[in-house]
Amino acid sequence: MTAKPAPIEIDIHELIAGRWSPRAFSDKPIERAQLHRLLEAARWAPSSNNLQPWRFIAFDRHRDEAAFKRVFDTLAPSNQKWNVNVPLFICVTALTLTPKGEANRTAA
């Protein structure tokens, strides 16, 4: 990955300073083990009341081109331009009700 540290005036953590949004992606397939590690880390992220309301749906171009294309077609044309080569989309959803059936105010 290319390093593009932010020009900073106040010392911040190197991971934050090094964060950037690329607009060019590889079309190289994502290894299943790598995807599982990514999703497992996301699953364990802290949440309000330890509810972990999120669910993840992976759309892998190399495993199901038709499903991937349906997701791709939902993108705005300006976003399609810079996502044309991505091998994977991950859709993040959230349960909006708690186990008690109440609105989960922090799901968003």
Residue 99 to residue 58: CA distance in whole angstroms: 25
pLDDT in tens, 2-45: 677 777 788 888 888 887 777 778 899 999 999 999 999 998 88
Single pTM value for the model: 0.75
Residue 81 to residue 9: CA distance in whole angstroms: 34
Domain boundaries, the chain: 47-108
Residue 16 to residue 20: CA distance in whole angstroms: 9
Which of 36, 93, 85, 39 has its CA nearest to residue 62?
85
Q: State which amino acid sits at residue 21.
A: S
